[in-house]
Amino acid sequence: MGIAEWRARLRQGEVSARELTQSHLDRIAAVDPTVHAFLEVTGERALASADRIDAARAAGQELPPLAGIPLAIKDNLCTKGIRTTCSSRMLGQFVPPYESTVTERLWDAGAVLVGKTNLDEFAMGSSTETSAFGPSRNPWDPERVPGGSSGGSAAAVAAGECLAALGSDTGGSIRQPASFCGVVGLKPTYGRVSRWGLVAFASSLDQVGPFTTSVADAAEILQVIAGADRRDGTCLQAPVPDYSAALGRPVKGLRVGLIRECFDQPGLDPAVKASVLAAAQRLEALGCELVEVSCPRFDDGIATYYVIAPSEASANLARYDGVKYGYRAAAPEGGDSLATMTARSRAEGFGEEVQRRILIGTYALSAGYVDAYYRKAQQVRTLIRRDFERAFEAVDVLLSPTSPTTAFRFGAHRDDPLAMYLADLLTIPANLAGLPALSLPCGFDAQGLPIGLQLIGGVLQEEQLLQVAHAYESDARVMDNRPAAALVA
């Protein structure tokens, strides 16, 4: 059942918010020792919020849209009074004194926080293996990663530990784990959703979005979190349409573009390719027109991203100096200088991948290299965006696989960070161009692992993305024929 069905049952009193919350807390207690989606479960707070909703209903008050819906939040979104660690030792004890805009909007809409979810440290990674607190496991196969960086959120939704979750996507961190875990993940247009209270990774790319078990639920969550915020200067003023209203509209006549470069990748798993092409044919059968388009600069996305994202990260992470807040290394006997205290705090507080990004970014921004690397990357970024603009002159939405492979095993890329970076090949270009993009399940490989289909829309075209995704989902009914998996709800 989705959010709309639970809302109806809650309003009719067929189930109480406490019962719904308790059933999810029970599910967490049963499966999370294996899945490890959560860094912290906020059971007491969840039951208290649920009781308030039940009391409001008993008093005859009108319930807000997400009243009683149990949600999980990626642990890089600030929650007032609740530890927000970014899966880093650096913020291991950080309790934010303020609430992020997106979570504030969810609580105002009546949603119930069940806990904070695991991620790659500071959202840098594609597997949750860089978390300082241990990885999460994929509910479809606990020997495999759930994807990343929002792997905890994706796994929590797939395992039925919450009805929906929030993640953040800088280079694919919502879509890739959604693909690996067989759920829906939506990265909105850059600026559609406020970043206030999202711990910054790469500020020109970061965007918050939902994980859900259906496209309709993604529309519900986006509805609540989208919209202008005076506390985030990059947040767009554009009015927020009624996303759910877009869902039933017929897709006949819409032009769907297959990005040639995505299907030509040498690393593309044949099972993934076949499943995504079959999904495209299904859309054609529903009346969409399939058009092959070319984005010649698509392949430059990774190189461009791995200059821009680390550069911005190196600037954003400079604030963790061991002085104002965050981890501070113990002083040696006889005291310490400010410089060595800062250096030691950062060496001990940040994991290897975060340090690697800071070094790359600092190098790319340093005098003498900034023109060759950072400025050049910004120029290529413009070319990538223009490729998309040209493509959207011919089509309404673009279609590709979300990830070149299904979920890989733990340690598969342990000694090869470049191989891990390549996993983001298909998701990164949408971040560089600021475009909305969504992943939804389209099939399974021979091991029974979910495959994700990516749809990319024009700027602020979330409605159209949801419309096409919903049409596909209702027709294909992929989850009706899913393989059995003990940890999947």
Instruction: Please give the residue ranges that form the binding site for ligand GLN (CB under 6 A).
Output: 123-126, 149, 169-173, 201, 309, 424
Check residue 425 and give left, alpha or beta (phi > 0: left; psi -120 to 50: alpha). Answer: alpha
Q: Least distance in Å: CB of 372 to ligand GLN? A: 22
Shortest Å, Cβ 187 to ligand GLN = 8
Which listed residue (16, 49, 74, 131) is catalytic? 74
Residue nearer to ligand GLN on the CB measure, 66 or 78: 78
Closer residue to ligand GLN, CB minimum distance, 120 or 336 = 120
**In the chain, what is the greatest distance between 2 CA atoms, to the nearest angstrom?**
76
Q: Closer to ligand GLN at the Cβ: 428 or 460?
A: 428
Give the single-character DSSP code of 79. Answer: B
Contacts of 222 (CB under 8 A, 6+ apart): 186, 188, 192, 193, 209, 210, 243, 462, 466
280/273 Cα distance (integer angstroms): 11
CB of 175 to ligand GLN, least distance (A): 9
Q: Check if 16 is active-site.
A: no
Report the residue number, 66 or 420, with the smaller CB distance to ligand GLN.
Answer: 420
- Backbone torsions φ then ψ of 452, nearest 5 degrees: -110, 140
Catalytic residue check, 173: yes
Least distance to ligand GLN, CB of residue 273, Å: 21
**Catalytic-role residue among 131, 149, 311, 439:** 149
The position carrying tokens 């733990």 is 410
Q: Which is nearer to ligand GLN, 426 or 465 (CB)?
A: 426
Q: Provide the pairing of β-strand 255-259 with 397-401.
A: parallel
Residue among 136, 173, 194, 400 flagged as catalytic:
173
Q: Work out how close the CB of 129 gets to ligand GLN at its nearest, in angstroms, rounded to a whole number.
A: 11
User: Are the C-beta atoms of residues 420 and 379 closer than 8 Å to each other?
Assistant: no
149 in catalytic set: yes
Chain centre distance of CA 55: 33
Helix axes 43-58, 3-11, angle to 10 degrees: 50
Catalytic positions are 74, 149, 173
